Amino acid sequence: MLIAIASKSGKQVDQHFGQAETFRIYDYGSQNPCQVSEVSVDKFSQDNVDHSFEENRFKKIVTALAGCKAVAISQIGKTPAEQLLLSGIKPVKTEATIAEALKIAHDSVCSGDCKKLLFSGECPHQ
């Protein structure tokens, strides 16, 4: 399963969705999750609290996160969170370490037997 992480430090989830200019993409389908890529995006937020939802900018981010089942971010607005869900990407708010965030994000997408099967290589979300 591919999971995007918004992290500036490379150690923990420390970026707001709207402020992230890069997302680290991890493969969480094995016993040794690893970063497989890093994508650069134009940040969604324009540093204006009253900014409106910019569909084109948002679509570019969703395209950059193609294949990801979840994205771990420290914060996200209501509308972008709803739109991510509609795009098939589960937003997961956390400020955990990357290793912890990957598990939290996976577990938020998978349920029941999937959690038991993940490390046997049979997770259906891989």
Per residue in 56-77, pLDDT tens? 889 999 999 999 999 999 999 9
Q: One-letter amino acid identity for 27?
A: D
Per residue in 21-48, pLDDT tens? 999 999 987 567 899 999 999 988 866 6
Average pLDDT, the chain: 87
Beta sheet of 68-73, edge-to-edge order: 34-40, 22-27, 2-5, 68-73, 90-93
The pTM of the full predicted model, rounded to 2 decimals, is: 0.86
